[in-house]
Structure 1
Amino acid sequence: MMLPTHALAGMVLALPVALAAPEYAGVALLAGLLGGILPDLDLYVAHRKTLHYPVYYSVGGATAVVAGVLAPTPLTVAVAVFLVAAAVHSVSDVFGGGLELRPWEETSERAVYDHFRGRWVAPRRWVGYDGSPADLALSVALAVPLLATQTGLLQLVVVATLVVAVSYVAVRRALPSLVVRLVSVLPTDVHPHLPERYVASRTGQSIRLEER
Protein backbone atom coordinates (compact mmCIF):
# COMPACT_ATOMS: atom_id res chain seq x y z
CA MET A 1 0.00 0.00 0.00
CA MET A 2 1.08 3.58 -0.61
CA LEU A 3 2.55 5.82 2.05
CA PRO A 4 -0.54 8.08 2.44
CA THR A 5 -2.66 5.02 3.27
CA HIS A 6 -0.20 3.95 5.95
CA ALA A 7 -0.01 7.47 7.37
CA LEU A 8 -3.79 7.71 7.64
CA ALA A 9 -4.02 4.22 9.13
CA GLY A 10 -1.53 5.20 11.83
CA MET A 11 -3.63 8.23 12.74
CA VAL A 12 -6.83 6.16 12.81
CA LEU A 13 -5.14 3.75 15.22
CA ALA A 14 -4.53 6.71 17.52
CA LEU A 15 -8.17 7.86 17.42
CA PRO A 16 -9.37 5.70 20.35
CA VAL A 17 -6.63 7.20 22.51
CA ALA A 18 -7.42 10.72 21.33
CA LEU A 19 -11.12 10.31 22.08
CA ALA A 20 -10.74 8.47 25.39
CA ALA A 21 -7.91 10.63 26.73
CA PRO A 22 -8.04 14.06 25.04
CA GLU A 23 -4.97 15.21 26.98
CA TYR A 24 -2.93 12.77 24.89
CA ALA A 25 -4.72 13.40 21.60
CA GLY A 26 -2.00 15.50 19.97
CA VAL A 27 0.92 13.28 20.88
CA ALA A 28 -1.01 10.10 20.02
CA LEU A 29 -2.08 11.31 16.57
CA LEU A 30 1.41 12.57 15.76
CA ALA A 31 2.94 9.28 16.91
CA GLY A 32 0.45 7.36 14.77
CA LEU A 33 1.31 9.46 11.74
CA LEU A 34 5.07 9.01 12.21
CA GLY A 35 4.77 5.31 13.03
CA GLY A 36 2.73 4.78 9.89
CA ILE A 37 5.39 6.53 7.81
CA LEU A 38 8.56 5.09 9.37
CA PRO A 39 8.80 1.68 7.62
CA ASP A 40 8.66 3.24 4.15
CA LEU A 41 11.77 5.32 4.80
CA ASP A 42 13.64 2.26 3.50
CA LEU A 43 12.18 2.83 0.02
CA TYR A 44 15.58 2.99 -1.69
CA VAL A 45 17.53 0.72 0.68
CA ALA A 46 16.23 -2.87 0.54
CA HIS A 47 12.61 -1.75 0.58
CA ARG A 48 10.24 -3.65 2.87
CA LYS A 49 13.18 -5.26 4.59
CA THR A 50 15.43 -2.63 6.18
CA LEU A 51 12.73 -0.92 8.27
CA HIS A 52 9.84 -3.39 7.99
CA TYR A 53 9.58 -5.66 11.05
CA PRO A 54 6.13 -7.28 11.15
CA VAL A 55 6.96 -9.51 14.12
CA TYR A 56 9.28 -7.32 16.18
CA TYR A 57 7.16 -4.16 15.88
CA SER A 58 4.13 -6.20 16.92
CA VAL A 59 5.84 -7.60 20.00
CA GLY A 60 7.26 -4.21 20.91
CA GLY A 61 3.91 -2.54 20.32
CA ALA A 62 2.03 -5.01 22.53
CA THR A 63 4.55 -4.49 25.33
CA ALA A 64 4.38 -0.71 24.94
CA VAL A 65 0.58 -0.74 25.03
CA VAL A 66 0.66 -2.53 28.39
CA ALA A 67 3.13 0.05 29.68
CA GLY A 68 1.00 2.88 28.34
CA VAL A 69 -2.13 1.55 30.03
CA LEU A 70 -0.44 0.91 33.37
CA ALA A 71 1.58 4.12 33.44
CA PRO A 72 0.11 6.60 30.95
CA THR A 73 2.35 9.54 30.17
CA PRO A 74 2.87 11.45 26.91
CA LEU A 75 6.01 9.35 26.31
CA THR A 76 4.52 5.91 27.00
CA VAL A 77 1.41 6.70 24.97
CA ALA A 78 3.48 8.01 22.05
CA VAL A 79 5.79 4.98 22.04
CA ALA A 80 2.84 2.58 22.16
CA VAL A 81 0.96 4.23 19.31
CA PHE A 82 4.14 4.66 17.27
CA LEU A 83 5.11 0.98 17.49
CA VAL A 84 1.59 -0.28 16.85
CA ALA A 85 1.31 1.94 13.77
CA ALA A 86 4.67 0.70 12.47
CA ALA A 87 3.57 -2.89 13.12
CA VAL A 88 0.29 -2.43 11.27
CA HIS A 89 2.16 -0.87 8.36
CA SER A 90 4.61 -3.77 8.15
CA VAL A 91 1.91 -6.41 8.38
CA SER A 92 -0.58 -4.72 6.06
CA ASP A 93 1.92 -4.53 3.21
CA VAL A 94 1.39 -8.27 2.87
CA PHE A 95 -2.17 -7.57 1.70
CA GLY A 96 -0.99 -5.42 -1.20
CA GLY A 97 1.13 -6.22 -4.24
CA GLY A 98 4.63 -7.59 -4.58
CA LEU A 99 7.92 -5.75 -4.45
CA GLU A 100 8.49 -4.94 -8.11
CA LEU A 101 8.57 -1.94 -10.40
CA ARG A 102 5.20 -2.82 -11.98
CA PRO A 103 3.32 -4.68 -9.25
CA TRP A 104 0.17 -5.00 -11.37
CA GLU A 105 2.08 -7.53 -13.48
CA GLU A 106 2.28 -9.79 -10.40
CA THR A 107 5.77 -11.11 -11.11
CA SER A 108 7.09 -10.91 -7.57
CA GLU A 109 6.28 -13.17 -4.63
CA ARG A 110 7.92 -10.88 -2.11
CA ALA A 111 5.76 -8.53 -0.09
CA VAL A 112 7.48 -8.03 3.28
CA TYR A 113 10.57 -9.59 4.81
CA ASP A 114 10.00 -11.48 8.05
CA HIS A 115 13.22 -11.09 10.05
CA PHE A 116 11.99 -13.45 12.76
CA ARG A 117 11.61 -16.37 10.34
CA GLY A 118 14.29 -15.18 7.93
CA ARG A 119 12.14 -15.26 4.80
CA TRP A 120 9.98 -13.14 2.52
CA VAL A 121 6.21 -13.26 2.96
CA ALA A 122 4.25 -13.58 -0.29
CA PRO A 123 1.79 -10.82 -1.27
CA ARG A 124 -1.93 -11.48 -0.91
CA ARG A 125 -2.89 -8.70 -3.36
CA TRP A 126 -6.21 -8.04 -1.65
CA VAL A 127 -5.65 -4.31 -2.13
CA GLY A 128 -4.10 -4.65 -5.54
CA TYR A 129 -0.83 -2.72 -5.42
CA ASP A 130 0.47 0.54 -3.99
CA GLY A 131 -1.34 3.34 -5.75
CA SER A 132 -4.16 1.16 -7.08
CA PRO A 133 -7.78 2.40 -7.10
CA ALA A 134 -8.51 0.04 -4.20
CA ASP A 135 -5.61 1.57 -2.29
CA LEU A 136 -7.04 5.03 -2.85
CA ALA A 137 -10.47 3.86 -1.71
CA LEU A 138 -8.88 2.59 1.49
CA SER A 139 -7.18 5.96 2.03
CA VAL A 140 -10.50 7.77 1.64
CA ALA A 141 -12.22 5.37 4.03
CA LEU A 142 -9.51 5.91 6.63
CA ALA A 143 -9.72 9.67 6.22
CA VAL A 144 -13.45 9.85 6.94
CA PRO A 145 -13.32 9.29 10.73
CA LEU A 146 -10.32 11.59 10.99
CA LEU A 147 -12.04 14.41 9.15
CA ALA A 148 -15.16 13.87 11.24
CA THR A 149 -13.37 14.10 14.59
CA GLN A 150 -10.39 16.39 14.05
CA THR A 151 -10.13 20.11 13.45
CA GLY A 152 -7.46 22.68 12.73
CA LEU A 153 -3.96 21.55 11.81
CA LEU A 154 -4.67 17.82 12.09
CA GLN A 155 -7.58 18.13 9.69
CA LEU A 156 -5.34 19.98 7.25
CA VAL A 157 -2.78 17.18 7.53
CA VAL A 158 -5.46 14.64 6.60
CA VAL A 159 -6.60 16.71 3.62
CA ALA A 160 -3.01 17.17 2.43
CA THR A 161 -2.40 13.44 2.76
CA LEU A 162 -5.45 12.73 0.61
CA VAL A 163 -4.23 15.18 -2.02
CA VAL A 164 -0.89 13.33 -2.13
CA ALA A 165 -2.74 10.01 -2.39
CA VAL A 166 -4.91 11.14 -5.30
CA SER A 167 -1.89 12.64 -7.12
CA TYR A 168 0.15 9.48 -6.66
CA VAL A 169 -2.63 7.23 -7.93
CA ALA A 170 -3.08 9.49 -10.98
CA VAL A 171 0.54 8.98 -12.10
CA ARG A 172 1.26 5.54 -10.63
CA ARG A 173 1.07 3.61 -13.90
CA ALA A 174 3.38 6.09 -15.63
CA LEU A 175 6.07 6.08 -12.94
CA PRO A 176 7.88 2.86 -14.01
CA SER A 177 8.50 4.22 -17.51
CA LEU A 178 9.76 7.47 -16.02
CA VAL A 179 12.11 5.57 -13.71
CA VAL A 180 13.46 3.49 -16.61
CA ARG A 181 14.15 6.63 -18.64
CA LEU A 182 15.86 8.28 -15.70
CA VAL A 183 18.08 5.25 -15.09
CA SER A 184 19.02 5.18 -18.76
CA VAL A 185 20.61 8.64 -18.55
CA LEU A 186 22.43 8.05 -15.27
CA PRO A 187 26.12 7.01 -15.30
CA THR A 188 26.50 3.24 -15.03
CA ASP A 189 28.63 3.61 -11.91
CA VAL A 190 25.50 4.89 -10.15
CA HIS A 191 23.49 1.75 -10.95
CA PRO A 192 24.88 -0.35 -8.05
CA HIS A 193 23.43 2.22 -5.65
CA LEU A 194 19.91 1.98 -7.10
CA PRO A 195 17.24 -0.57 -6.14
CA GLU A 196 17.81 -3.73 -8.19
CA ARG A 197 14.30 -3.64 -9.65
CA TYR A 198 15.02 -0.27 -11.29
CA VAL A 199 18.17 -1.39 -13.07
CA ALA A 200 16.84 -4.85 -13.97
CA SER A 201 13.71 -3.38 -15.51
CA ARG A 202 15.76 -0.96 -17.58
CA THR A 203 18.12 -3.62 -18.96
CA GLY A 204 15.37 -6.15 -19.65
CA GLN A 205 16.75 -8.71 -17.20
CA SER A 206 14.42 -10.85 -15.13
CA ILE A 207 13.56 -8.90 -12.01
CA ARG A 208 15.65 -9.97 -9.03
CA LEU A 209 14.65 -7.96 -6.03
CA GLU A 210 17.33 -6.83 -3.65
CA GLU A 211 18.07 -9.20 -0.77
CA ARG A 212 20.66 -7.17 1.05
Structure 2
Amino acid sequence: MMATTHVFVGLVLAAAVAATAPEYAGSVALAAILGGFFPDLDVCAQHRQTLHFPVYYWVLAVPSTLLAVLAPTAVTVAVAVFLLTAAAHALSDHVGGGLAARPWEGRSRRAVYSHYHGRWLEPRRWVAYDGSPGDLALGAVLSIPALFVFDGVIRSIVVAMLVVSIGYAVFRRYFAGVGERVLEEPRSRHSDD
Protein backbone atom coordinates (compact mmCIF):
# COMPACT_ATOMS: atom_id res chain seq x y z
CA MET A 1 0.00 0.00 0.00
CA MET A 2 1.01 3.60 -0.51
CA ALA A 3 2.44 5.38 2.53
CA THR A 4 -0.53 7.72 2.35
CA THR A 5 -2.94 4.80 2.61
CA HIS A 6 -1.14 3.68 5.78
CA VAL A 7 -1.54 7.19 7.17
CA PHE A 8 -5.25 7.19 6.31
CA VAL A 9 -5.65 3.95 8.29
CA GLY A 10 -4.17 5.70 11.32
CA LEU A 11 -6.32 8.76 10.75
CA VAL A 12 -9.45 6.58 10.94
CA LEU A 13 -8.33 5.63 14.45
CA ALA A 14 -7.38 9.24 15.24
CA ALA A 15 -10.78 10.46 14.02
CA ALA A 16 -12.53 7.98 16.31
CA VAL A 17 -10.46 9.20 19.27
CA ALA A 18 -10.98 12.86 18.36
CA ALA A 19 -14.73 12.37 18.00
CA THR A 20 -14.95 10.99 21.55
CA ALA A 21 -12.17 13.09 23.14
CA PRO A 22 -11.78 16.29 21.09
CA GLU A 23 -9.11 17.63 23.44
CA TYR A 24 -6.70 15.08 21.92
CA ALA A 25 -7.59 15.80 18.27
CA GLY A 26 -4.37 17.54 17.29
CA SER A 27 -2.01 15.17 19.07
CA VAL A 28 -3.68 11.99 17.81
CA ALA A 29 -3.85 13.29 14.23
CA LEU A 30 -0.14 14.08 14.30
CA ALA A 31 0.60 10.70 15.93
CA ALA A 32 -1.39 8.89 13.22
CA ILE A 33 0.43 10.73 10.43
CA LEU A 34 3.85 10.02 11.95
CA GLY A 35 2.96 6.41 12.79
CA GLY A 36 1.73 5.82 9.25
CA PHE A 37 4.92 7.13 7.67
CA PHE A 38 7.45 5.92 10.26
CA PRO A 39 7.99 2.30 9.10
CA ASP A 40 8.66 3.49 5.54
CA LEU A 41 11.65 5.53 6.70
CA ASP A 42 13.53 2.28 6.19
CA VAL A 43 13.33 2.83 2.43
CA CYS A 44 16.83 4.28 2.86
CA ALA A 45 18.05 1.02 4.45
CA GLN A 46 16.47 -2.43 4.04
CA HIS A 47 12.93 -1.50 3.02
CA ARG A 48 10.18 -3.39 4.81
CA GLN A 49 12.75 -4.96 7.10
CA THR A 50 14.62 -2.34 9.15
CA LEU A 51 11.63 -0.46 10.65
CA HIS A 52 8.80 -2.85 9.80
CA PHE A 53 7.83 -5.06 12.73
CA PRO A 54 4.52 -6.83 11.95
CA VAL A 55 4.57 -8.60 15.32
CA TYR A 56 6.68 -6.50 17.67
CA TYR A 57 4.85 -3.21 17.13
CA TRP A 58 1.75 -4.97 18.49
CA VAL A 59 3.71 -6.06 21.56
CA LEU A 60 4.20 -2.35 22.30
CA ALA A 61 0.86 -1.10 20.96
CA VAL A 62 -1.39 -3.29 23.12
CA PRO A 63 0.00 -2.23 26.54
CA SER A 64 0.32 1.39 25.42
CA THR A 65 -3.34 1.35 24.37
CA LEU A 66 -4.30 -0.12 27.72
CA LEU A 67 -2.31 2.61 29.46
CA ALA A 68 -4.02 5.27 27.32
CA VAL A 69 -7.44 3.90 28.28
CA LEU A 70 -6.60 3.72 31.99
CA ALA A 71 -4.62 6.96 32.22
CA PRO A 72 -5.54 9.14 29.25
CA THR A 73 -3.32 12.13 28.63
CA ALA A 74 -2.30 13.80 25.40
CA VAL A 75 0.97 11.87 25.53
CA THR A 76 -0.35 8.38 26.40
CA VAL A 77 -3.13 8.59 23.82
CA ALA A 78 -0.79 9.92 21.12
CA VAL A 79 1.80 7.20 21.81
CA ALA A 80 -0.92 4.55 21.58
CA VAL A 81 -2.19 5.93 18.27
CA PHE A 82 1.36 6.17 16.89
CA LEU A 83 2.16 2.56 17.81
CA LEU A 84 -1.21 1.22 16.63
CA THR A 85 -0.77 2.98 13.30
CA ALA A 86 2.81 1.75 12.87
CA ALA A 87 1.68 -1.77 13.80
CA ALA A 88 -1.18 -1.66 11.30
CA HIS A 89 1.23 -0.35 8.64
CA ALA A 90 3.75 -3.15 9.11
CA LEU A 91 1.10 -5.85 9.23
CA SER A 92 -0.87 -4.50 6.29
CA ASP A 93 2.22 -4.62 4.06
CA HIS A 94 1.78 -8.39 4.34
CA VAL A 95 -1.52 -8.15 2.43
CA GLY A 96 -0.04 -6.09 -0.39
CA GLY A 97 1.58 -7.01 -3.68
CA GLY A 98 5.09 -7.58 -2.50
CA LEU A 99 8.39 -5.78 -2.41
CA ALA A 100 9.40 -5.33 -6.03
CA ALA A 101 9.85 -2.56 -8.56
CA ARG A 102 6.97 -4.08 -10.57
CA PRO A 103 4.76 -5.77 -7.96
CA TRP A 104 1.86 -6.10 -10.44
CA GLU A 105 3.84 -8.89 -12.12
CA GLY A 106 3.37 -11.03 -9.00
CA ARG A 107 6.95 -12.32 -8.91
CA SER A 108 7.96 -11.11 -5.46
CA ARG A 109 7.90 -13.63 -2.61
CA ARG A 110 8.71 -10.89 -0.07
CA ALA A 111 6.07 -8.64 1.46
CA VAL A 112 7.46 -7.69 4.86
CA TYR A 113 10.15 -9.13 7.11
CA SER A 114 8.97 -10.61 10.40
CA HIS A 115 11.74 -10.43 12.97
CA TYR A 116 9.62 -12.64 15.24
CA HIS A 117 9.46 -15.41 12.63
CA GLY A 118 12.98 -14.73 11.33
CA ARG A 119 11.83 -14.69 7.69
CA TRP A 120 10.07 -12.72 4.99
CA LEU A 121 6.28 -13.04 4.92
CA GLU A 122 4.86 -13.65 1.47
CA PRO A 123 2.53 -11.11 -0.12
CA ARG A 124 -1.19 -11.92 0.08
CA ARG A 125 -2.03 -9.48 -2.73
CA TRP A 126 -5.36 -8.38 -1.24
CA VAL A 127 -4.24 -4.94 -2.35
CA ALA A 128 -2.63 -5.63 -5.73
CA TYR A 129 0.30 -3.26 -5.29
CA ASP A 130 1.17 0.18 -3.93
CA GLY A 131 -0.43 2.76 -6.18
CA SER A 132 -2.91 0.32 -7.71
CA PRO A 133 -6.44 1.56 -8.44
CA GLY A 134 -7.62 -0.54 -5.49
CA ASP A 135 -5.04 1.04 -3.21
CA LEU A 136 -6.13 4.51 -4.31
CA ALA A 137 -9.80 3.65 -3.75
CA LEU A 138 -9.04 2.22 -0.30
CA GLY A 139 -7.03 5.30 0.65
CA ALA A 140 -9.77 7.64 -0.57
CA VAL A 141 -12.42 5.82 1.47
CA LEU A 142 -10.20 5.73 4.56
CA SER A 143 -9.58 9.48 4.29
CA ILE A 144 -13.28 10.34 4.65
CA PRO A 145 -13.49 10.24 8.48
CA ALA A 146 -10.48 12.55 8.78
CA LEU A 147 -12.02 15.01 6.31
CA PHE A 148 -15.15 15.20 8.44
CA VAL A 149 -13.60 15.18 11.92
CA PHE A 150 -10.52 17.37 11.48
CA ASP A 151 -10.27 20.90 10.17
CA GLY A 152 -7.55 23.43 9.50
CA VAL A 153 -4.03 22.13 8.99
CA ILE A 154 -4.93 18.46 9.43
CA ARG A 155 -7.68 18.62 6.80
CA SER A 156 -5.27 20.42 4.46
CA ILE A 157 -2.69 17.68 5.00
CA VAL A 158 -5.30 15.00 4.25
CA VAL A 159 -6.31 16.77 1.02
CA ALA A 160 -2.66 17.15 0.02
CA MET A 161 -2.06 13.43 0.70
CA LEU A 162 -5.07 12.59 -1.47
CA VAL A 163 -3.64 14.66 -4.32
CA VAL A 164 -0.24 12.96 -3.93
CA SER A 165 -1.97 9.56 -3.84
CA ILE A 166 -3.82 10.27 -7.07
CA GLY A 167 -0.64 11.44 -8.77
CA TYR A 168 1.31 8.44 -7.57
CA ALA A 169 -1.43 6.02 -8.68
CA VAL A 170 -1.62 7.62 -12.12
CA PHE A 171 2.13 7.47 -12.68
CA ARG A 172 3.06 4.35 -10.64
CA ARG A 173 3.90 2.11 -13.58
CA TYR A 174 5.74 4.94 -15.31
CA PHE A 175 7.88 5.49 -12.20
CA ALA A 176 8.95 1.83 -12.26
CA GLY A 177 10.17 2.20 -15.85
CA VAL A 178 12.03 5.43 -15.11
CA GLY A 179 13.70 3.82 -12.10
CA GLU A 180 14.86 0.89 -14.20
CA ARG A 181 16.26 3.20 -16.90
CA VAL A 182 18.11 5.29 -14.30
CA LEU A 183 19.65 2.16 -12.78
CA GLU A 184 20.56 0.75 -16.20
CA GLU A 185 22.32 3.92 -17.40
CA PRO A 186 25.29 3.72 -14.96
CA ARG A 187 25.69 0.02 -15.80
CA SER A 188 25.78 0.70 -19.53
CA ARG A 189 28.40 3.45 -19.02
CA HIS A 190 30.63 0.98 -17.17
CA SER A 191 30.24 -1.62 -19.92
CA ASP A 192 31.33 0.96 -22.53
CA ASP A 193 34.58 1.66 -20.65
Coarse TM-score class (shorter-chain normalised): over 0.9
1:163-182 map, 5 Å: 163-182=163-182
User: Runs of 5+ in structure 1 lacking a partner?
Assistant: 189-212
Does 173-182 or 84-93 show the bigger shift? 173-182
4+ runs deviating over 3 angstroms = 185-188
Partner Cα separation in structure 2 for residue 24 and residue 149 of structure 1? 12
Task: Specify the SS of the correspondent of 1:43.
Answer: helix
User: Runs of 5+ in structure 2 lacking a partner?
Assistant: 189-193
Residue 127 of structure 2 corresponds to residue 127 of structure 1: yes
Give the residue type in structure 2 aligned to 1:51: L
Pairwise CA distance, 1:184: 2.7
Partner Cα separation in structure 1 for residue 169 and residue 91 of structure 2? 22
Aligned to 1:49: 49
Aligned to 2:191: none
Aligned to 2:143: 143
Aligned to 1:26: 26
Conservation of the 8 A alpha-carbon contact between 2:31 and 2:81: yes
Q: Which whole-Å deviations, capped at 9, do the CAs of 1:90-119 have from their partners, x for residues lacking one?
A: 001111101111000011111011101101
Give the residue type in structure 2 aligned to 1:6: H
Q: Which whole-Å deviations, capped at 9, do the CAs of 1:8-33 have from their partners, x for residues lacking one?
A: 11111111211111111110111011
Partner Cα separation in structure 2 for residue 144 and residue 14 of structure 1? 12
**TM score, norm. by length of structure 1:** 0.86
Partner Cα separation in structure 2 for residue 162 and residue 79 of structure 1? 25
Q: Which whole-Å deviations, capped at 9, do the CAs of 1:144-197 have from their partners, x for residues lacking one?
A: 111122211111111000000000011100112111221233479xxxxxxxxx
Partner Cα separation in structure 2 for residue 175 and residue 36 of structure 1? 22
Give the residue type in structure 1 aligned to 2:18: A
Conservation of the 8 A alpha-carbon contact between 2:39 and 2:89: yes
Give the length in aligned residue pairs: 188
Identity of aligned residues (%): 52
1:32-181 map, 5 Å: 32-181=32-181
Partner Cα separation in structure 1 for residue 80 and residue 44 of structure 2? 27
Partner Cα separation in structure 2 for residue 147 and residue 54 of structure 1? 28
Q: Which whole-Å deviations, capped at 9, do the CAs of 1:10-60 have from their partners, x for residues lacking one?
A: 111111211111111110111011001100111131110000001110110
Task: Specify the SS of the correspondent of 1:113.
Answer: strand
Give the residue type in structure 2 aligned to 1:44: C
Partner Cα separation in structure 2 for residue 149 and residue 84 of structure 1? 19
Partner Cα separation in structure 1 for residue 120 and residue 183 of structure 2? 27
**TM score, norm. by length of structure 2:** 0.94
